[in-house]
Amino acid sequence: MQLKLTLLLTAACSLQALCANAKELLISPPGQPPLPTAQEASTSAAASGLNLTNIQGDILIVDVPSFKAQLKSGIAPLITSTFQLLPNTTDPADLFVNIAFSSSGLSKLGIANPDLGDNNLFQKGQFNGATNLGDLTSNWLPQFAGTSIHGVFLIASDTLDGVSATLSQVQSILGSSISESYRLQGQARPGDQQGHEHFGFMDGISNPAVNGFNTPHPGQALVNPGVILFGESGDPKSRPGSTGWAKDGSFLVFRQLAQRVPEFNKFLLDHAPSEANMTLEENAELLGARMIGRWKSGAPVAMSPLFDNLVIATNAQQNNNFDFSAPSDSSLCPVSSHIRKTNPRADFSKGNFPNHIIRAGIPYGPEVTDAENASNTSSTDPSLDRGLAFVAYQSDIDTGFETLQSDWANDPSFRRGYQYANNAVLQGADPIIGPNGVSRSPAGLDPSNLSGSITIMEDFVVSKGGEYFFSPPISAIQTTLSS
Ligand code: HEM
């Protein structure tokens, strides 16, 4: 049997930076909530029954084929567990190797009808639902079109050489049993931009804490482990394998999201508000901050509405300590902003809702060139493509990523029924990740005209495709999937 695994992946960043991007399950830089030490995590996990050595730490996408025989003896020992990534662990990892499988990949490995209880989203694959996600399939890379990808490897190290060496090791173990269909190399941005995505905003600040694993910082959502992991407390579904081989696995959503940075920057200048006593550049920064909901440093506009605040930004005890409730209109943070669309906090129920994901993406591609900056236009040279290798974990794709993208970010009328000031105003689609190819009119971006909207005629983030994967527990790699 030839198993065709598509390798979609990347790594080549510092381990610290990748962990930072991997959020809660991994590490955190200044301003991002720190992880518990291995001892703390073990204590709380023991109390809750979580097995931290059986949860994959992160994933990088790779294509791999027919390798079942090598999976158990060669690959399983390389897989990095969450426990190995914690501070003070007794079993530290200096690299990551994780693997996840698409529905067609699991079928190849003998898992019949692998819908895994996810309303067919996983089984049909991401391409099948691309239009519902707001994608233009004409923008999709051909490798993602269809269901031909069987799996993905995530490989990371603190050096590019480390990634290359690990990839060579994996290739040599799997030999001709795999075929690589695609590779995406992630890269933490350089210098003071480390931890920032390509538009310049600090990323990886807000992920939910997981009950039994870490303690939430002020304002941080606390979710039951079953919101992220199969078969744990709070898993909304009873599904095939969730009490057996698939327990502690997680759905991994991958998206390659290109970012048109010069166009974004020009838009901010062209549509800058006119706040008094602020320069054009400061007003442009303000518009960008209100589109995201945070300043470039990571400070939330809900806490610092007109100017950036490095003290709040770098303090994990403060930088999530807001819930949009006082006031609940768009005066501090626009209802249409990216972070309020994707995590409405008290607009719903004080964070106590199941629609949470753990994001673990990393930037890819080079910095903007002088020529691109000068022309305000992204190059069409594929080697200059840049963006976010978006990775998110959840136990239910429908409740998690799909709700955030399709029902919240893309829907101009979200939130229906929610009573905020100016309820009559259509709040508009997410100005960052709203649907491609249609104009978006997010409201409230100008603090002096909260009922007005700004029409955005172009896409700053372009989906180039992706796939849904299942990241299995390590025990399944050692047994069910390799026998
Ligand atoms: C290139 C595309 C994207 C960019 C540039 C981007 C950027 C950001 C930034 C700068 C933040 C604030 C930092 C933080 O809280 O960690 C953030 C938060 C977040 N993003 Fe995105 N993002 C992108 C795509 C997505 C997608 C596709 C989703 C899901 C459909 C998503 C969901 C979230 C969530 C849930 C948060 C945290 C909100 C909170 O808890 O306050 N993002 N994003």
What tokens were used for 174?
């799997």
In the reported structure, the alpha carbon of residue 293 is separated from the centroid of ligand 1 by a whole-number distance in angstroms of 10
Query: Which range among 5-19, 154-168, 179-193 shows the weakest confidence by mean pLDDT?
Result: 5-19
Select the more confidently predicted residue: 376 or 4. Answer: 376
Pocket test for ligand 1, best of 121, 135, 184, 203 (most atoms within 8 A of CB): 203
* Rg over CA atoms, the chain: 21
Domain assignment of residue 122, yes or no: yes
In the reported structure, the alpha carbon of residue 201 is separated from the centroid of ligand 1 by a whole-number distance in angstroms of 10
* Average pLDDT over every residue of 364-373: 97
Structural domain including 172 reads: 15-257+467-478
Query: Which range among 108-112, 322-326, 360-364, 388-392 shows the weakest confidence by mean pLDDT?
Result: 108-112
In the reported structure, the alpha carbon of residue 338 is separated from the centroid of ligand 1 by a whole-number distance in angstroms of 7
* Average pLDDT over every residue of 242-255: 90
Which residue owns the Cα nearest ligand 1 atom 33? 342
Question: Average pLDDT, whole number, for the chain?
Answer: 82
Select the more confidently predicted residue: 235 or 378. Answer: 378
* Average pLDDT over every residue of 100-116: 86
In the reported structure, the alpha carbon of residue 192 is separated from the centroid of ligand 1 by a whole-number distance in angstroms of 20
Q: Say how many residues make up the chain.
A: 483
Domain assignment of residue 407, yes or no: no
Q: Enumerate residues 6+ apart whose C-beta is below 8 A from 17.
A: 29, 188, 194, 195, 362
Domain assignment of residue 27, yes or no: yes
Which residue owns the Cα nearest ligand 1 atom 5? 197
Pocket test for ligand 1, best of 433, 460, 462 (most atoms within 8 A of CB): 433
- Gap between the Cα atoms of 235 and 242, Å rounded: 9
**Catalytic residue set:** 203
Q: Which of 30-39, 156-165, 263-272 shows the highest mean pLDDT? A: 263-272
Per-residue model confidence as pLDDT tens digits over 332-357: 999 999 999 999 998 876 556 889 99
Which has the closest alpha carbon to 342: 357, 327, 329, 330?
357
In the reported structure, the alpha carbon of residue 444 is separated from the centroid of ligand 1 by a whole-number distance in angstroms of 19
Which residue owns the Cα nearest ligand 1 atom 8? 203
What tokens were used for 7?
């390798």
Q: Which atom of ligand 1 is nearest to the CA of 32?
A: 16
In the reported structure, the alpha carbon of residue 203 is separated from the centroid of ligand 1 by a whole-number distance in angstroms of 7
- Gap between the Cα atoms of 417 and 127, Å rounded: 32
- Gap between the Cα atoms of 127 and 145, Å rounded: 6
Angle at which helix 280-292 crosses helix 261-270, to 10 degrees, equals: 120
SS3 324: coil
Which residue owns the Cα nearest ligand 1 atom 20? 339
Q: Enumerate residues 6+ apart whose C-beta is below 8 A from 290.
A: 301, 333, 334, 337, 444, 445, 447
Q: Which atom of ligand 1 is nearest to the CA of 196?
A: 10
Q: Which atom of ligand 1 is nearest to the CA of 204?
A: 16
Q: Which atom of ligand 1 is nearest to the CA of 339?
A: 38
Query: In this model, does residue 253 exceed pLDDT 90?
Result: yes
- Gap between the Cα atoms of 320 and 297, Å rounded: 13
Q: Which atom of ligand 1 is nearest to the CA of 207?
A: 40
Q: Which atom of ligand 1 is nearest to the CA of 409?
A: 30
* DSSP summary character for residue 253: E
Question: What residue ranges line ligand 1, CB within 6 angstroms?
Answer: 197, 199, 201, 203-206, 255, 257, 259, 292, 294, 338-339, 342-343, 359, 387-388, 390, 401, 404-405, 409, 432-433, 461
Which has the closest alpha carbon to 476: 47, 167, 99?
99
Domain assignment of residue 45, yes or no: yes
Q: Which of 77-81, 171-175, 323-327 shows the highest mean pLDDT? A: 323-327
Which residue owns the Cα nearest ligand 1 atom 23? 433
Predicted local confidence at residue 160, as pLDDT? 77
In the reported structure, the alpha carbon of residue 431 is separated from the centroid of ligand 1 by a whole-number distance in angstroms of 12
* Average pLDDT over every residue of 87-111: 77
Pocket test for ligand 1, best of 26, 263, 267, 339 (most atoms within 8 A of CB): 339
Confidence of residue 159 (pLDDT cuts 50, 70, 90): confident
Domain assignment of residue 263, yes or no: no
Predicted local confidence at residue 90, as pLDDT? 57
The strand pairing partners of 56, in sequence order, are 81
Confidence of residue 423 (pLDDT cuts 50, 70, 90): low
Which residue owns the Cα nearest ligand 1 atom 18? 339
In the reported structure, the alpha carbon of residue 390 is separated from the centroid of ligand 1 by a whole-number distance in angstroms of 9
Domain assignment of residue 72, yes or no: yes
Q: Which atom of ligand 1 is nearest to the CA of 23?
A: 16
Domain assignment of residue 280, yes or no: no
In the reported structure, the alpha carbon of residue 339 is separated from the centroid of ligand 1 by a whole-number distance in angstroms of 6
Which residue owns the Cα nearest ligand 1 atom 35? 342
Domain assignment of residue 144, yes or no: yes
The structural domain count of the chain equals: 1
Predicted local confidence at residue 252, as pLDDT? 94
